[in-house]
Structure 1
Amino acid sequence: MLNECNEIMLPNGSMVQTIPKLAVSPEVAAFVDGKSLPCSGTEQRVCKYPDCYSNPCENGWCEETMQGYHCHCSTGFQGHNCDEDLPATRRDETALLTPETTISAISSLTSTSDPSTTIMTSEPFVKIFVADSGAHKIFVADLKEELVFTSIPSTMNPEFLEYDSKMKKLYWNDVVANRIYRANVDGSNREVVTFASNEASAGVAIAKNTGMLFVAYPMLNKITSMSIAPGSPIPGIEVYFGSQSVREPRVLEADEEKGYLYWTMSGKVARKLLSGSGDTEIIYKSMDSEEQFGFSIDIIRKLRRIFFYSLTTNKVFYKDVDIPHNTSFAQEVIHDYWQRPNLQLRSLSYFNEVLVWIARYNNTGVIGIAIGYDDDNGWLEIKEVDQFMTPSGTQIILP
Structure 2
Amino acid sequence: MKDIILKAENISKQYRLGQVGTGTLSHDLNRWWHEVRGKENPYLKIGEINDRSTKGDSDYVWALQDINFEVERGEVLGIIGKNGAGKSTLLKILSKVTAPTTGSIKSRGRIASLLEVGTGFNGEMTGRENIFLNGAILGMTKREIASKLDEIIAFSGCERYIDTPVKRYSSGMTVRLAFAVAAFLEPEILVIDEVLAVGDAEFQKKAIGKMQDISRGEGRTVLFVSHNMAAVRSLCTRGIVMENGKLVFEGGIEETLEFYQFDSEFENETQYFGSRIIKKAILHTTNGTIKYNNNFRLEVYFEAKNSITNLVLGIVIKDLNDVELIGINNRHYHQEKINSSNVFNGKISVYIENLKLLPGLYKIDLYMGDSTTDIEIINEAIKFTVTENFEEKVVNSLNMSINKVFHDEVVWQYYNINNLDND
Tell me which interval the TM-score lies in, with the shorter structure as reference length. under 0.3
> Normalized against structure 1, the TM-score is what?
0.23
Give the number of the structure whose residues are more often strand, by fraction: 1
Give the number of the structure whose residues are more often helix, by fraction: 2
Higher relative contact order structure (alpha carbons within 8 Å, sequence separation ≥ 6): 2
Larger Rg computed on CA atoms: 2
